[in-house]
A and B are shown apart, each in its own frame.
Chain A
Amino acid sequence: MGKVFRFNKDVDTDQIIASQYLLFPTVEEMKVHTFESLDADFASKVKPGDFVVADSNFGCGSSREQAPAVLKALGVRAVLAPSFARIFYRNAINIGLPAIVCEGLYEAVKTGDEISLDLEKGTVALGDKVFPCTKLPLHLQKILDQGGLIPSLDEMA
């Protein structure tokens, strides 16, 4: 179980982590500024195992891999949205952050709700309600299971 932090549609990568922080040498130094323009306290409130739930087109905008990286560094278990921008989606899988396509969840939850995610079954539970989410293709699931692209390359080698 984890708490939901709910965001609207078209959340862009500048809103996830603004340009001025991209030059910090490490993701650890950047992560306290996550979602700063939308919720200045997000980084202090979010706990490992919590979820980001958003409306469509999450992560649109720049190619910055730091956007999924700061979420992962803060311990976000998964991002759930009806759709994702393509670069964010690829980056998220490559660094081992589940980006899960899920219809209807955004409308049903509010910030602070507790949900649980079953990646193998492809379901999200909110109290008694269960929402189906799109299962990842096998090869992407494998990358995720191994913690991202680099660990999965090591595994192959």
Chain B
Amino acid sequence: MGSTLIEKIFAHNIGADSVKAGDIITVNVDRVMIHDIFIPFVKDKFEEMGFQKIWDPDRTVLIYDHLVPASQLDDPRHHHIGDEFCDKYGVRNVHRSDGICHQLMTEAGYVKPGDVAFGTDSHTVTYGCVGAFSTGIGYTEMASILGTGKLWVRVPETIRVNIKGTLPEGVTSKDVILTIIGDLRADGATYKSLEFTGSTVDAMSVASRMTMSNMTVECGAKCGLFSPDEKTAQYCGLTELDDFLKTLHGDDDAVYARVLNYRAEDFVPVMACPSQVDKIKPVSQVIAEASAMEEGSIVPSVGLIEDGTVRVDQVFIGSCTNGRLEDLEAAAAVLRGRQIAPFVKLIVTPASRKIYREALANGTLDILAGAGAMITTPGCGLCCGRTGGILTDNEVVVATNNRNFLGRMGTSKVNIYLASPVTAARCALAGKIVEG
């Protein structure tokens, strides 16, 4: 009997011939990531546990991204504690303003295909885009890994998602993963591994795959994996995939909890509507429903109904979900030579300094700024509701990030719609929710 992709990664990690879903194993951790919000808590727990040294400082990465640049009086305390922690325990992999942790972990080469990684953030699942196992944990467990280099995990069952064909124009991997989350629901993959296969994902860039892996936690998944291929090798700076990495695909005769099959041609632009990430509707349906509501009224969990659709106050393009060069270029292609609606605040936040500079060099940022965008420093920015762009009651934001939870970007009456960079840019241009 064959193995799933996650079973192969875990078997290799512990040096076993095979492991099966349901087994409880202790893995050897290849890399850990801690970010600025939780470093004070990790430090406290690490010292409370009585550890004197980190098992392997070079496998430890500390990234400041949620609180950069600091926006609250207490934020710098986290950075001071982080710096002291690194000095004391010899951690040299520290990024203080280079970008979002989940972008940097693969971009800066910390996580490679086949690795086992943990982070103090739920979107640590992102590194599945290169065929690595990675998932989020709390600060107490992170402290125990720092001391031991190990963690127990239950080998998850796998849901295989097979997508074949060519995506329609204007439909991105964001629309694909939102649609899948809508089908699985917010708890549909809890404790499970998602394994993406098929000609559609084979044709995707690593950046597009990253968007999908990033959001798998929104349906409860423990990880969201792609098989490494030549594009992965190039992105990760490997000259070629070695014999082990070439085996990293799910076998057809492996045991799958479920198999979902999609035709790429069936996908359409969609949105996650306020305030559940699995409340997925085609953009055309959002508009159709709004057009049946009373013009000029403010509808809870929808927004202000204007011109037969929903008025948009702000648009956010960025985050570890959709802040990469191809995302900024997709938005720029919509906005080139045009002006956003005068009342819309368009905030663009590249996911890393590298992306920022690439977008600067190739003119993408100039197009966006020319259209009326505010370009911000790389980081988590508005996604976690801590820096510029907080909204108030009944306002509507169309955003490319991964969560539209109640109160995430301001008050609990803010209406957050999640969408692709293409849809977000179109909405910024029109000042309302539009499809094309």
Point out residues on A near B: beta carbons under 8 Å.
Answer: 9-10, 12, 14-15, 18-20, 22-25, 37, 56-57, 60-65, 83-87, 90-91, 94-95, 148-150, 153, 157
Contacts and interface: CB of A to CB of B under 8 A. Distances in A.
A10 B122 contact: no
Nearest to B390: A20
A37 B410 CA distance: 11
A19 B384 contact: yes
Given A10-B187, A12-B405, A56-B187, A62 B141 contact: no
For A15, A25, A64, A91, which residue has the most chain B Cβ atoms within 10 angstroms? A64
Contacts of B113: none
B386 A19 contact: yes
Given A37-B412, A95-B140, 20 more contacts: A9-B187, A12-B405, A12-B406, A14-B406, A15-B407, A18-B407, A19-B385, A23-B37, A24-B74, A37-B406, A57-B190, A63-B119, A65-B139, A83-B187, A86-B222, A90-B141, A91-B137, A95-B138, A148-B140, A150-B49
A149 B144 contact: yes
Interface string B87-125: 000000000000000000000000000000001111010
A61 B218 CA distance: 7
Interface in B200-243: 218, 220, 222
Interface string B327-356: 000000000000000000000000000000
Nearest to B36: A23
A19 B408 contact: yes
Chain B facing A: main interface SS: loop
B187 A20 contact: no
Contacts of A12: 403, 405-406
B191 interface: yes
18 contacts: A9-B187, A10-B276, A12-B403, A19-B384, A19-B385, A23-B67, A57-B187, A60-B186, A61-B122, A62-B122, A63-B121, A64-B138, A65-B138, A87-B138, A94-B138, A94-B140, A94-B141, A95-B140
A90 B186 contact: no
Contacts of B141: 90-91, 94, 149
B25 to A, nearest CB: 14
B404 to A, nearest CB: 10
B164 interface: no
A12 B187 CA distance: 11
Chain A facing B: main interface SS: loop
Contact of A153 (B41, B119, B144, B406): B144
B405 A61 contact: yes
Contacts of A37: 406-407, 412
A151 B72 CA distance: 34
A94 B144 CA distance: 11
Interface in B52-92: 67, 72, 74-75, 77-78
B3 to A, nearest CB: 22
Contacts of B408: 14, 19
Interface residues of B, number: 45
A60 B139 CA distance: 17
B253 interface: no
B150 interface: no
A5 B41 CA distance: 29
B75 A23 contact: yes
Nearest to B386: A19
For B41, B49, B187, which residue has the most chain A Cβ atoms within 10 angstroms? B187
A150 B47 CA distance: 11
Interface of B: 37-38, 40-41, 45, 48-50, 67, 72, 74-75, 77-78, 119-122, 124, 135-141, 144, 186-187, 190-191, 218, 220, 222, 276, 278, 384-386, 403, 405-408, 412
A34 to B, nearest CB: 13
Contact of A87 (B37, B122, B218): B122
Across chains A and B, which 6 residue pairs bring their CB atoms closest together, nearest first? A65-B138, A57-B187, A91-B138, A63-B136, A37-B412, A14-B405
Contact of A85 (B75, B137, B220, B385): B220
A90 B190 contact: no
Contacts of B407: 14-15, 18, 37
Contacts of B121: 62-63
A58 B72 CA distance: 30
Nearest to A91: B138
Nearest to A87: B136
B74 A149 contact: no
A78 to B, nearest CB: 18
Given A10-B276, A149-B144, A63 B385 contact: no
Contacts of B385: 19-20
Contacts of B41: 65
A60 B220 contact: yes
Contacts of B78: 23
B45 A150 contact: yes
B72 A23 contact: yes
Contacts of A61: 122, 403, 405
Nearest to A89: B191
For A37, A63, A85, A153, which residue has the most chain B Cβ atoms within 10 angstroms? A63
